[in-house]
Amino acid sequence: MIEVHVGREENAALVDAAGTRFKLCAVNTASASFIQSLRQVLAPERVLTSDEDLVPYSFDGTAALKQRPGVVVFPLTTAEVAACVKLARDNEVPVVTRGSGTGLSGGSVPLAGCLVICLVKMDKIIELDEKNLTLRAQSGVITKEIDDACAKVGLFYPPDPGSMKISTIGGNVAENSGGLRGLKYGVTRDYVMGIEVVLPDGTQTFLGNKCVKDVAGYSMKDLFVGSEGTLGIITEVILKVLPRPKARKTMLALYDSMEKAAETISAIIAAKIIPCTLEFLDRMTVQCVEDFAKIGLPTDVEALVLMETDGHPAVVEEEAAQMMALAKANGAHDVRAAADEAEGAKLAAARRNAFSALARIRPTTILEDVTVPRSELARMVAFIDDVAKRHRLLIGTFGHLGDGNLHPTFLTNERDHEEMHRIEAALEEIVDETIRLGGTVTGEHGVGLAKKGFLKRQLGEGSYELMRSIKRALDPQGLLNPGKIFD
């Protein structure tokens, strides 16, 4: 079932649940003496405890989830992070790590009274190594700043999650964030070469290196990518970067049915073209995005597809022409190309705001992240439409056509309990269908609190228990982000 924690009591139960599962679970809240010790380790102004300071750290980008922490700290170095973790371990206070708090699965929502370690002040790019094509940065660096730094020397960091203007690289690695360029360039994991991590016992260690080839033992860094702050605290990363594509072309194709849009995508892939972006927005999403961005998107369409190809200028020209022709041949009633890169960037930026723009309609916006094999996408979209009708719900859908990652977004009001129950029922059906089609409950947002009720259903007993035993082995005390991913 969907986990929606609104009140204090419910989340207290969450702690209790975790407490009963783990023998030695950290369940204490931050005490005065604990806070005093933190102040000795960090400068006092980097330890926040007043109500006015804590309320704004009670949530992340996920709807309807909030819980007030006991203390928020801002370390500047890995050593400071380690010192905080050791103190938390000794005092058995659970630790929730966060960056800019833009997560969409409740992964960085605190536990009542816990310690929040906020890494936004660890914001230095340490090295851009043009010989090895790597970039080393502290976890609090903003994703876009990493790509901007690369761009200055003709390099490129491809993963571009919707929140890249403010999300931190540490958060991206911990959540294994995706983005609009997944089809061609993959996701955050594909760019992580090394990480510095603080383990639950306070040990600092570096996993990985700058070597393209490295088979020395288990690929430990990969265990931490996407671990959602439950296994360790990532404080630094070494990222792989690429030469920046010399050209980019952005196109729009408009359809009066989702099927035609999906057929176009199949045709493009069949033509052996891998575009960097193939995004779609349904009617409601297009209307909201246009309402916000006012960039002249046509609002009388059933599906709008944003296509982008990048690379060598000649190849880009050729592929763009082919893609536009294929879109027309497969039923697009209008296909147009952005006049220049600036206009293309505007279109992509508008797409990145799709989720938040949908919030214009109703007070609460619940974003889902189900993902199916690309070939099943049109079927899944039709299924979601049907679910919305049967449960009398408002669902705007957009997502990544190229990689099957869908974002059905429920527009509702968390105060309307009856409607929230209908959403739960609808979500159950969507999840069941996703799993039936061989998909996953979360393509890029992570499990956190929002998806943990569905995890076992997807994974099955074996791999679910394997995950839990890894968690128990690394964090027997249940210190780091307890209650996330699973209980």
Partner 1 sequence: MPQAVLLKDLDYSVLQQCMHCGMCLPTCPTYVETKLERNSPRGRISLLRAVADGELEVSRALSDEMYYCLGCLACQTACPAGVKYAELFETARAEVELADVNDGMQRGFWRWLTLNVIFMKPWLLRLVGRVLRLYQHTKLDVLMRKVRFFGLMPRSMAALEPQTPRISEKFSNELILPLESPTTKPQYRVALLTGCVQDITFSNINRDTADVLLANGCEVVTLPSQHCCGSLHAHNGEVELARELARKQIDSLDLDALDAIITNAGGCGSHLKAYGHLLHDDPFYAAKAKVWDAKVKDIHEWLVQIRFRRPTAGAGVSEVTYHESCHLCHGQKVVNQPRQVLTSIPGLTVKELPESNWCCGSAGIYNITQPEQSQKLLKRKLANLEQTKCPVVATSNPGCHLQIANGLKACGGHSCQEVTQPVSLLAQAYRAEQGVGASGPY
Q: In this structure, which amino acid lies at residue 86?
A: K
Encoding tokens for residue 440?
């996953």
What SS3 state is found at 64? coil
Residue 102: CB minimum distance to partner 1, A: 4
Q: Which residues pair with 206 in a beta bridge?
A: 196
CA 113 – CA 95 distance, rounded (Å): 10
Residue 444: CB minimum distance to partner 1, A: 15
Distance, CA of 212 to chain centre = 26
The closest of 367, 378, 150, 364 to 264, measured between CA atoms, is 378
Residue 356: CB minimum distance to partner 1, A: 3
Name which of 120 and 427 has its Cβ closer to partner 1.
Answer: 120
Residue 86: CB minimum distance to partner 1, A: 25
Residue 292: CB minimum distance to partner 1, A: 5
Encoding tokens for residue 259?
């099927």
Scanning the structure block, which residue is given the tokens 């009617």?
A: 283
Kindly state the DSSP code that residue 119 receives in the 8-state scheme.
-
A 10 A CB-CB count for 55 gives 12
Residue 413: CB minimum distance to partner 1, A: 8
Residue 104: CB minimum distance to partner 1, A: 9
Name which of 173 and 273 has its Cβ closer to partner 1.
Answer: 173
Name which of 121 and 210 has its Cβ closer to partner 1.
Answer: 121
Name which of 63 and 430 has its Cβ closer to partner 1.
Answer: 63
Name which of 171 and 194 has its Cβ closer to partner 1.
Answer: 171
The closest of 123, 261, 279, 139 to 196, measured between CA atoms, is 139
The H or E element that residue 21 is part of is helix 8-21
HSE-up of 27 (CA within 13 Å, CB side)? 15
* Pairing of the two strands 405-412 and 364-367: antiparallel
Using CB under 8 A, list all residues that contact partner 1. Answer: 48, 50-53, 55-61, 63, 74, 100-102, 120-121, 123, 142, 163, 165-167, 289, 291-293, 353, 355-357, 359-360, 363-365, 413-415
Residue 100: CB minimum distance to partner 1, A: 6
The H or E element that residue 8 is part of is helix 8-21
Name which of 249 and 352 has its Cβ closer to partner 1.
Answer: 352
Rounded to 10 degrees, the C-alpha dihedral 453/455/458/460 comes to: -110
Residue 444 burial (C-beta neighbours within 10 Å; 0-12, 13-18, 19+)? buried
Name which of 72 and 378 has its Cβ closer to partner 1.
Answer: 72
Scanning the structure block, which residue is given the tokens 């306070």?
A: 202
The H or E element that residue 279 is part of is strand 277-282
Name which of 33 and 50 has its Cβ closer to partner 1.
Answer: 50
Name which of 97 and 364 has its Cβ closer to partner 1.
Answer: 364
A 10 A CB-CB count for 461 gives 8
Residue 368: CB minimum distance to partner 1, A: 14
Residue 324: CB minimum distance to partner 1, A: 28
The H or E element that residue 365 is part of is strand 364-367
Name which of 336 and 360 has its Cβ closer to partner 1.
Answer: 360
